[in-house]
């Protein structure tokens, strides 16, 4: 928190100079690319008087300056980006990788325009949390590097949310992940977890933030091994001297370059859209499960707005056993709280369902977009045993699927429908399938297959899961859907031979497993490679 302390000293000692407007671009060292706050001791532990700091934030610190002129502090700026810029502390070295990313940000100004739009609801909250812990404000820029401030981001490495936690690390830092809720996308909780993780890494690497940030990307073990290797070879052990994976070698320079650009917008000729330096959202806990449509109505918001502020909720409601909390606009808090208290126990719709022949608890759960556990809990069932004619109370949504536009199901549908080739094939996962085997069968890369289906390459598949496969001329296949009308004398094997496909695929594509016969006039759906057969 060195810069925080420095600003307090300025307020107390600088006299009339404290009233001058600060131009961050004019204070940059043009020959080194370092920001004015950079120094070789930036990792030192800083202690300061909390009351004095709070007085500076509140604008009540005493000063020898003209009392009619406002003090200039990071906290009375109009723009959160400026608040960050005034407190940056990490050294920005004159290095080719830093220069590369600095130039990238400068020549792609639209990127930061989009980032600022996405960050607007959350950046103030994140900055506050970083300042409370007395950490470098460069950390507020990590979500730009990690996810471009997309709270719904999901990477090839199965990492999710603004801070891109992989499942195991998320669980290690208390972020729950289940059918209803993914704490990695909970902006408030994930920010706390990320900062806790970063602090632990900083301690591990003796206060070196460059190494800590590198370890956040690639893991502490990998960075430690690189340090050990350099020590044995008699080489320096600073970040820029280590042999690290390509992604990590670029990760820290990208962050430092971004920090330099944020601090020196005028110098580099770009303008990042401002974000108001004031609170936007506040956390409120209704202490009961709520349908998101009902919660949105309580708050005076659309369901999509509510979901955009609370991207951790995967389904149509908060998790039955919690968490229940929401980030809501300040203006919505009172209305929401009063509505919750006036409608206790009415936050989720229950429907009465009569068990039919062939029903199982899991089948009923899928029909109602819920889980077997929730139905058991709602009906005080000790097992999954049910009987025909039995009545069950099923918690269900008050609105149709389309209303919950940002639910996991709808986000997946949008991803799968976005064309990535000329022709789309749908594959139903069977026992023994993996992304690797499916990709080889269809002559596509397993990385692409995962991306087309909103997955990571290491994610597991479920039997019955639907995957989309996109093809075009580049892989030698042109897939078309053919609707074939069965003729007298046709057999499945004969049709398969004619269209150069497998009999088993015809059975699977048309759900013929229980009736392996076909009859004249029946229509069959086939996925045919037209480079192998004329259709």
| Residue 391, pLDDT above cutoff 60 | yes
- What contacts 225, CB < 8 A, 6 or more positions away? none
Average pLDDT value for residue range 165-169: 95
Share of the chain above pLDDT 70, in %: 84
- Distance (Å, whole) CA 136 – CA 4: 10
pLDDT, position 39: 38
| Residue 237, pLDDT above cutoff 90 | yes
- Distance (Å, whole) CA 89 – CA 3: 7
Pick from 87-101, 218-232, 453-467: least confident = 453-467
Would you place residue 530 in the very low, low, confident or very high pLDDT band (cuts 50, 70, 90)? low
The two structure tokens encoding residue 318: 């908060």
Q: Are the beta carbons of 262 and 144 closer than 8 angstroms? A: no
| Residue 44, pLDDT above cutoff 80 | no
More confident residue, 66 or 217: 217
Average pLDDT value for residue range 276-281: 97
- Dihedral Cα 463, 468, 472, 474, nearest 10 deg: -60
Average pLDDT value for residue range 388-406: 91
pLDDT, position 374: 86
Q: Assess whether 146 carries a catalytic annotation.
A: yes
Q: Nearest-CA neighbor of 9 among 63, 47, 60?
A: 63
pLDDT, position 59: 57
| Residue 505, pLDDT above cutoff 90 | no
pLDDT, position 11: 41
Encode pLDDT of 137-148 as tens digits.
999 999 999 999
DSSP element (H, E) containing 424: strand 423-428
pLDDT, position 534: 61
Phi, psi of 256 (to 5 degrees): -65, -40
Average pLDDT value for residue range 47-72: 56
pLDDT, position 48: 43
| Residue 268, pLDDT above cutoff 50 | yes
Average pLDDT value for residue range 15-29: 34
Pick from 16-20, 453-457, 470-474: least confident = 16-20
Query: In 89-208, which residue ranges form alpha helices assigned H by DSSP?
Result: 96-107, 109-119, 123-132, 142-147, 167-172, 187-204
pLDDT, position 102: 97
Average pLDDT value for residue range 404-420: 90
Phi, psi of 274 (to 5 degrees): -65, 155
Average pLDDT value for residue range 64-73: 64
pLDDT, position 500: 84
- Distance (Å, whole) CA 172 – CA 348: 31
Q: Nearest-CA neighbor of 453 among 424, 422, 481, 474?
A: 424
Q: Nearest-CA neighbor of 267 among 7, 3, 29?
A: 29
pLDDT, position 23: 36
Predicted TM-score (pTM) above 0.85: no
DSSP string, 220-273: HHHHHHHHHHHHHTT---SGGGS---HHHHHHHHHHHHHHHHHHTHHHHT--PP
- Distance (Å, whole) CA 153 – CA 234: 41
Q: How high does pLDDT run on average in the chain? A: 85
Average pLDDT value for residue range 280-291: 97
Encode pLDDT of 334-363 as tens digits.
999 999 999 998 999 889 999 999 999 999
CA distances from 179 to 115, 158, 247 (A): 29, 16, 31
Residue among 146, 247, 282, 341 flagged as catalytic: 146
More confident residue, 315 or 14: 315
pLDDT, position 370: 85
| Residue 220, pLDDT above cutoff 60 | yes
- Distance (Å, whole) CA 187 – CA 163: 9
């Amino acid at each position: 928190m060195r810069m925080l302390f420095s600003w307090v000293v300025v307020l107390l000692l600088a006299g009339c100079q404290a009233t001058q407007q600060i131009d961050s671009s004019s204070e940059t060292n043009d020959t080194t690319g370092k920001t004015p706050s950079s120094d070789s001791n930036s990792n030192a532990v800083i202690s300061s008087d909390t009351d004095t700091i709070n007085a500076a934030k509140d604008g009540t610190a005493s000063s020898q300056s003209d009392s009619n002129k406002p003090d200039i502090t990071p906290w009375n700026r109009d723009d959160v980006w400026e608040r960050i810029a005034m407190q940056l502390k990490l050294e920005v070295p004159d290095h080719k990788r830093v220069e590369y990313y600095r130039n990238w940000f400068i020549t792609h100004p639209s990127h930061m325009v989009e980032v600022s739009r996405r960050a607007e609801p959350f950046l103030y909250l994140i900055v506050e949390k970083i300042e409370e812990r007395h950490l470098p404000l460069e950390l507020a820029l990590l979500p730009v590097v990690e996810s471009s401030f997309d709270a719904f981001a999901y990477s090839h490495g199965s990492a999710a949310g603004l801070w891109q936690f992989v499942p195991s690390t998320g669980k290690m830092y208390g972020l729950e992940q289940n059918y209803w809720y993914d704490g990695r996308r909970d902006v408030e909780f994930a920010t706390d977890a990320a900062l806790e993780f970063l602090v632990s890494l900083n301690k591990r690497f003796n206060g070196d933030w460059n190494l800590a940030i590198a370890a956040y990307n690639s893991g502490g073990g990998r960075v430690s091994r690189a340090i050990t290797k350099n020590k044995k070879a008699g080489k320096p052990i600073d970040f820029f001297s280590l042999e690290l994976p390509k992604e990590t070698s670029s990760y820290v320079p990208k962050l430092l370059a971004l920090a330099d650009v944020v601090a020196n917008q005028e110098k580099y000729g770009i303008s990042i859209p401002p974000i108001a330096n004031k609170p936007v959202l506040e956390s409120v806990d209704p202490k009961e499960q709520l349908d998101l449509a009902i919660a949105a109505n309580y708050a005076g918001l659309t369901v999509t707005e509510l979901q955009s502020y609370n991207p951790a909720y995967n389904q149509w409601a908060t998790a039955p056993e919690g968490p229940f909390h929401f980030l809501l606009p300040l203006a919505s808090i009172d209305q929401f709280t009063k509505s919750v208290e006036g409608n206790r126990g009415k936050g989720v719709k229950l429907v009465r369902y009569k068990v039919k022949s062939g029903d199982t608890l899991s089948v009923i759960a899928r029909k109602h977009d819920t889980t077997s556990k929730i139905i058991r809990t709602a009906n005080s069932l000790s097992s999954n045993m049910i009987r025909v004619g039995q009545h069950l109370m099923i918690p269900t949504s008050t609105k149709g699927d389309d209303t919950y536009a940002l639910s996991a199901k709808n986000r997946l549908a949008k991803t799968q429908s976005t064309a990535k080739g000329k022709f789309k094939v749908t594959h139903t996962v069977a026992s023994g399938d993996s992304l690797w085997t499916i990709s080889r069968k269809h002559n596509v890369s397993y990385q692409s297959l995962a991306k087309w289906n909103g997955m990571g390459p290491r994610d597991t598949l479920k039997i019955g899961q639907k995957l989309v496969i996109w093809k075009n001329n580049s892989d030698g296949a042109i897939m078309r859907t053919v609707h074939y009308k069965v003729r007298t004398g046709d057999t499945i094997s004969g049709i398969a031979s004619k269209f150069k496909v497998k009999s088993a695929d015809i059975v699977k594509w048309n759900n013929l497993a229980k009736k392996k016969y076909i009859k004249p006039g029946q229509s069959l759906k086939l996925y045919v490679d037209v480079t192998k057969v004329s259709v």
